[in-house]
Amino acid sequence: MSEQKDRVVLAYSGGLDTSVAIGWIAEQTGAEVVTVSVDVGQGGEDLEVIRQRAIDCGAVEAYIADARDEFANEYCMPALAANGLYMDAYPLVSAISRPTIVKHLVTAARRFGASTVAHGCTGKGNDQVRFEVGITSLGPDLKCLSPVRDLALTREFAIEYANKHDLPIETTKNNPFSIDQNVWGRAIETGFLEDIWNAPTKDVYQYTDDPTYPPLPDEVIISFDKGIPVAIDGQKVTPLEAIQILNRRAGAQGIGRIDIVEDRMVGIKSREIYEAPGAMTLIEAHRELENVTLDREQARFKRTVADQWTNIVYEGQWFSPLKKSLDAFIESTQEYVSGDIRMTLHGGRATVTGRRSDTSLYDFNLATYDAGDTFDQASARGFIEITGLPSKLAAARDVSFGNGEDLGESVLS
């Protein structure tokens, strides 16, 4: 009885590069290839079609997973709880999909007896880090392989290889962009966008319509329970459905277009175009509900924690001990983030117009300047004196040592 060959699990999109990688890995390493295809709401071809293509291209097994609800519940919702925006702009579209895929890559490696996990990333981007750090965090014994980076699999060679071996994959279509998408958003780079003076053209966008000529304003009410969207306009929804509905409605208004020069992990700057209508609308609504329900000091500290959370997730540390600890704090802040946010979607903007919550910290009688004001203004004088006391004492010391700021001449001049 012959000994079973070593196996490599390959993250498989069904496109040219990963289709060619099946045979190329086998030739270069002598291993059998098992493909893994994960649906995180990216749309496109049916998973069964992709599975059959993998087999036709030489895979010995083809693992497929519909992870749309898993992705929305376990990855998008934590990002929403953190209001995760890298560089205050990017809603972690690719960064949170990679650990989802990694989880299934490692599952497949265990199921099919593979010792190596491969991905289609280059040596210049962030995703190689996200994949490999994630893989070794879940499977410390597993080895990682990038055919593009490690086995010199260029796109020109891939086209030649596919034609030579008559692989069932289109090789003539020329898309100038590199695109990654899922239900949380869409990322577009390369091509003429690499000149940062060039404006995006209409063909760059798919999730959003041009906000210059929007349809009539669209009013929406988003209901949250402990930070999770649970209803749209009174109709119950799952997290996945909430994202999908707002992708459609906010996308029709051109909301969620992002154009930034981004600091990558490898030290270079990269021009990135994103469109994330559902994500950006939900983050804006969630952030405003937190303004109503979080204590001031809790909210201040949460911004610090969430910023650290966002940075380490961007850097591929989803499965790290620190991320787990930060998750615990962020989750605790969501205990009272429940209620409704009313928004007007129009012309590229999602504008909050109303808030209501049974767990609100907003007290109308304390806030009002009209009749019914219950705030004791007499207490303000003592509060101001105590608040300013440290600075007052420091200023008096400065004056006594001749270091005080003399404002006399500047006032008279």
Is 19 annotated to bind ligand?
A: yes
In whole angstroms, give the CA distance from residue 167 to residue 23. 10
Is 126 annotated to bind ligand?
A: yes
Could you tell me what percentage of the chain is helix, strand and coil, using 3-state DSSP and rounding each to the nearest 5?
45, 20, 35
Is 307 annotated to bind ligand?
A: no
Joined together, the tokens standing for residue 117 give 């996990």
Choosing from 53, 98, 271, 349, the catalytic residue is 98
Is 35 annotated to bind ligand?
A: no
Count of Cβ atoms closer than 10 Å to residue 195 Cβ: 8
Is 12 annotated to bind ligand?
A: yes
Q: CB-based burial of residue 179 (10 Å sphere; 0-12 exposed, 13-18 middle, 19+ buried)? A: middle
Choosing from 66, 178, 263, 332, the catalytic residue is 178
Is 325 annotated to bind ligand?
A: no
In whole angstroms, give the CA distance from residue 394 to residue 396. 5
Known catalytic residue: 127? yes
Look at residues 291, 312, 313 and name the one whose alpha carbon lies nearest to residue 302. Answer: 291
**Spatial CB neighbours of 392, under 8 Å, sequence gap ≥ 6:** none
Is 90 annotated to bind ligand?
A: yes
Look at residues 328, 181, 157, 170 and name the one whose alpha carbon lies nearest to residue 247. Answer: 181
Phi (first) and psi of residue 208, to 5 degrees: -130, 145
Is 213 annotated to bind ligand?
A: no
Known catalytic residue: 98? yes
Is 322 annotated to bind ligand?
A: no
Choosing from 127, 146, 209, 338, the catalytic residue is 127
Is 251 annotated to bind ligand?
A: no
Is 14 annotated to bind ligand?
A: yes
Is 262 annotated to bind ligand?
A: yes
Known catalytic residue: 259? no
Is 110 annotated to bind ligand?
A: no
Angle of helix 296-314 relative to helix 277-293, nearest 10 degrees?
A: 150
Is 347 annotated to bind ligand?
A: no
- The angle formed by the CA atoms of residues 53, 207 and 182, to the nearest 5 degrees, is 45
In whole angstroms, give the CA distance from residue 312 to residue 133. 12
Q: Which residue has the tokens 């209001």?
A: 83
Known catalytic residue: 166? no
**Spatial CB neighbours of 412, under 8 Å, sequence gap ≥ 6:** none
Phi (first) and psi of residue 32, to 5 degrees: -80, 150
Q: Which residues pair with 182 in a beta bridge?
A: 185
Is 360 annotated to bind ligand?
A: no
Using a CB cutoff of 8 Å and minimum separation of 24, what contacts does 320-325 make?
A: 320/137
Is 130 annotated to bind ligand?
A: yes
In whole angstroms, give the CA distance from residue 232 to residue 411. 58
The binding site for L-citrulline consists of 90, 126, 130, 178, 262, 274
Binding residues for ATP: 11-19, 120
Annotated binding residues, written as ranges, equal: 11-19, 90, 120, 122, 126-127, 130, 178, 262, 274
Which residues are known to be catalytic?
17, 98, 127, 178
